[in-house]
Structure 1
Amino acid sequence: MDLHYVVQGNGEPIVFLDSGGADLRDWEFIAPSLAKSYRCIAYDGRGAGQSPSPIEFGDYVEDLKNLLDFLDIDNTVLVGHSIGGRIATDFALTYPQRVSKLVLIGPGLTGYQFSPELVQRFEEIQSVAPNVEKMAQLSLELPSYQVVMTSPQRDRMVEMTKHNTLRGLEWQHLWKNLQVWGELPAIPPLNELRVKTLFIIGTQDSEDCFRIADLFKQVPDIRFAHIEGADHMPTLTHSLEVSSIIREFLGESKL
């Protein structure tokens, strides 16, 4: 297995999938808390953190399956943040027998059409490539990062964003000519998601994330938790609250 991963603790496994532009540092305040009772596995997705860049466009669902196979994990809790939540959802729909519970934090969603304003900002970010400093600056000026950028975690967020923006440029040739905003795949049938699901969202997250939350109301067994005053990065700014909500969802009431 060539993906970089870190394991902490023992017990029922929890696998963490980080946000886009981030890496397993997304979980550095969450995983240690949950590792008191669980076997916590955080990994860097292909092309991020310390994992190798893809040679061709890969299948992130199959990457996760291969990691679970490598670690001899037949069934696990998945905790996915942002794009990691999108991957975790797709995995749970593809391999439902391998997911015991699903925790989504401000997740993305396959097939979701982002608002024109956000599409324009993404295009502005790509237009200044390969200027990593400017790309990171434009990314972190998004309203959904206003809380983390005025928090004690600001420097950590800036460093992580710069690192993974630079990593993304390593495999820019794969997506340079891709019609990113062309025809989207269909939104998956969320009403067929049978695993018990927890959806966590900060009250200061983007309108797009709240629209995605509305779509997830189709899931038969889902609960929603709102974190007051958090933006798209509650894993960094509200880690104790996130950990407590996850722990309660998994059946424990105490930290």
Structure 2
Amino acid sequence: MMQSVKRFTYNGFTTEYFDLGPADAPAILFLHSIRSTKELFRLIMPAFLPQYRLIAADIRGHGGSSRQGPYTFAQVVEDLAHLLDHETIREIAIVAASFACVPAQLFAATYPQRVRKLVLLDGGFYNLGDLPGFRIDAQVRKYQQTVFSTLDDVHRAFARHHPGSTVPPAIAESEVEPDADGRYRFKLPVEALASYFQEYERFDRVALFSRLACPVLLLLSDEENMPLEEGKTFLRHAAADYLSRTRQARAVKIPGSQHLLMLSHPQETVSHTLRFLSE
């Protein structure tokens, strides 16, 4: 299925993306999590075919897209607008994961006439800096120091990071590349990771949420999997606050699920998303 890889260059910046399904079908734009790639949706995309046309893009700095700044959510929105213009797609639904839920909402707020519906996969409903136990400097330092000797090490690390989830090799391998010594490091530049985290930390959520006009489905992971009690409480309150500020939104929690819902609970993620999109 994942054979239709395309590239589009605008002003020297290239976006790599999947374009699957009938060209005249309603379009869905899939946006992956931080450090990941368009491959993240490999397990769930077949369920949307042939009913929908699927565009899954590598966000700036990720995967096969150009690694050049600025690494900002505003720039991501501009990149996506140019991509959709290039493909002559006037209207879309967006399915976004984790950090990409913020630029997805920013796109919907900037181009309300272009977005039918938003599906937010466990992200974008709080400021990252408010999440208990999360420190950007520590995360960036750990990322910068991470190195794998072999691809087998990459696969084992992903399996540990996503317990109980099915992680196809293509997903893990799309995030890394060999360095000069033959070891494997993440493709996403360190400065991109830091910049996107900072954007996620400080975006004006009150202003952004108030600008949304389209229906929104917030699919939540099970907060009971959080290691800290403060984290569990924070996520419950953050989801409630989001719903109070975004009246056209509703939330559904998938029991037992991990943060990357499309990996831990692909069937439930597909079922909730398809039902919402068909309403």
Q: With structure 2 as the length reference, what TM-score do the two structures score? A: 0.74
The percentage of aligned residue pairs carrying the same residue is 25
The one of 211, 216, 219 aligned to 2:242: 216
The equivalent residue for 1:132 is 146
Question: Post-superposition shift, 1:75?
Answer: 0.9
Give 1:93 shift: 1.0
Q: Which residue of 1 aligns with 2:263?
A: 236
Deviation per CA, 1:139-181, whole angstroms, max 9, x where unpaired? x99xxx9782343328666545545962223xx4577799949
Q: CA RMSD in A?
A: 3.4
How far is 1:221 from its partner?
1.1
Q: 1:152 maps to which residue? A: 166
Query: Which residues of 2 match residues 172-187 of structure 1 at below 5 A?
Result: 172=190, 180=198, 184-187=202-205
Number of the residue aligned with 2:53:
39
Q: Are 1:6 and 2:18 matched, yes or no?
A: yes
* Structure 2 counterparts to residues 1-255 of structure 1, below 5 A: 1=8, 2-10=14-22, 11-58=25-72, 59-109=75-125, 111=127, 113-119=129-135, 122-128=136-142, 130-133=144-147, 148-153=162-167, 159-160=173-174, 162=176, 166-169=186-189, 172=190, 180=198, 184-189=202-207, 190-204=209-223, 206=226, 207=231, 209-217=235-243, 218-251=245-278
Q: What is the SS of the residue equivalent to 2:130?
A: coil
Cα distance, 1:22–1:174 mapped onto 2, change above 3 Å: closer
| Residues 193, 220 of structure 1: 8 Å contact kept | no
Q: Structure 1 residues 25, 174: CA separation in 2 closer, same or farther (over 3 Å shift)?
A: closer
- 1:241 shift after superposition: 1.1
- Aligned residue pairs total 242
Deviation (angstroms), 1:133 = 2.6
Distance 1:248 1:38 in 2: 13
Change (3 A) 1:67 1:203: same
Residues of 2 paired with 1:34 and 1:177: CA distance?
A: 33
Q: Counterpart of 1:223 in 2: which secondary structure?
A: strand
The answer (yes or no) to whether the contact 1:110–1:188 under 8 Å persists in 2 is: no
Using the TM superposition, give the Cα deviation of residue 41 of structure 1 relative to its aligned residue in structure 2, in angstroms.
0.7
Q: Which runs of 5+ in 2 are unaligned?
A: 1-7, 9-13, 178-183
Q: Is 2:128–2:197's contact at 8 Å kept on the other side of the alignment? A: no
Shift of 1:8: 1.3
